[in-house]
Amino acid sequence: MERLVRDCFRTGGYVFAKKADEHGLSRIARLASNENPEVPSPKAQAAAKKALGKANRYPDERVDVLINALRAHYGDYSFVTGVGMDGVIETLIRTLVEPGETVAIAIPTFSFYGLAVVAQGGNVTTVSRKKNDFSLDPKQLVRAGRTAKVTILCSPNNPTGNATPVEIVSEVLDGIDGVLFLDNAYVEFSDCDYLPLMKQYDNLILGRTFSKVHSLAGLRIGYAFVPPWLVPYYQRAGTPFAVNSVSAAAAAGALTDRDHAERYIAQVKRWRKRFSDEVKYPVMPSDANFVMVDVSPDTGDQMVEKLLKHGVVVRSCRSFAGLPDHYIRVSIGEDWENKLFIKAMNGL
């Protein structure tokens, strides 16, 4: 019966981080998925528990509790929500891209964009970042974006860590024909503020998530700043009740705990510097809560195996199209995890 499955799902798919506890180690540094190592804020947990007690009812389809919390936090913007930012991306592609239409993607980057486009019957055009520092040539992205329905740029970029300056993003927005999806999963760790662009452009979407700085990866909740024209169409295209009431309540609660986010942002800034000062391999400059490390002459896969033996789980960058195979990506975790990583790396 497998012959019934669509061609695009016969091979490939999302590559998940290694599972740690398969290796019989007691204490494992989990530095592969860019999560905040701190458990969710007590405010998020209390709100989630309260919502759980009413989970016999379907959630509010407008997700008002979260939309209102986002407005209280950021101001008067239009938002959409989804099952993680991944869910937002999926629904946006479904809303905007007809089968056979094109999406332009700057690579190397997060792999889910391409998977979501192909699953919808769209075509992907890739634009390579510069080889030396992985910065973006806006003219190349504009050239591809002139014939694309959607252009996708990740800033700060996963896995390279660097952010694209606001002026360069403006240049892309001015030049392309369709919509720019700017993935801001890690923006809280950078010094870039793309929000003023929302008021200037009606073709910009800023994707955000509660999975990273807000410690809610397990609850799968994402959102995006969108131009107001998009909201009713996104709602029509999306799965009904996609965002569950417990996650929405937790996310709204998390937004009210600024200290929780600030603590991890400070930790990230401290350790980004220590990683680049102390690790004996070249560490790429990062605006995110992870760094990419050049581990040549090893491959990324080889280094992942070596570090696992020391109880450190990191991500090989082999599966990122457009990147040589000698990089790993390492999240910034708790002090003991970061120290264990540095010790293991420098002892190899």
Ligand X SMILES: *Cc1c(COP(=O)(O)O)cnc(C)c1O
Binding ligand X by CB under 6 A: which of 44, 66, 85, 187? 85
Based on the shown chain and the rule CB under 6 A, indicate whether residue 108 belongs to the binding site for ligand X: no
> Are the C-beta atoms of 133 and 162 separated by less than 8 Å?
yes
Angle at 333 between CA 328 and CA 336, to 5 degrees: 110
What number of residues does the chain have?
Answer: 348
Site for ligand X in 133-162 (CB under 6 A): 154, 158
* In the complex, least distance from residue 217 CB atom to ligand X, rounded to whole angstroms: 6
> Are the C-beta atoms of 303 and 328 separated by less than 8 Å?
yes
Site string for ligand X, 219-258 (x = CB under 6 A): ---x------------------------------------
Binding ligand X by CB under 6 A: which of 211, 247, 286, 331? 211
**Residue closer to ligand X (CB basis): 154 or 330:** 154
Return d(Cα 88, Cα 101) in angstroms, integer.
19
**Residue closer to ligand X (CB basis): 14 or 259:** 14
CA dihedral angle for residue 163, residue 166, residue 169, residue 170, rounded to 10 degrees = 180
Based on the shown chain and the rule CB under 6 A, indicate whether residue 163 belongs to the binding site for ligand X: no
* In the complex, least distance from residue 84 CB atom to ligand X, rounded to whole angstroms: 2
**Residue closer to ligand X (CB basis): 36 or 338:** 36
Based on the shown chain and the rule CB under 6 A, indicate whether residue 44 belongs to the binding site for ligand X: no
Based on the shown chain and the rule CB under 6 A, indicate whether residue 209 belongs to the binding site for ligand X: yes
Write out the residues near ligand X by the rule CB under 6 A: 34, 84-86, 110, 154, 158, 183, 185, 209, 211, 217, 222
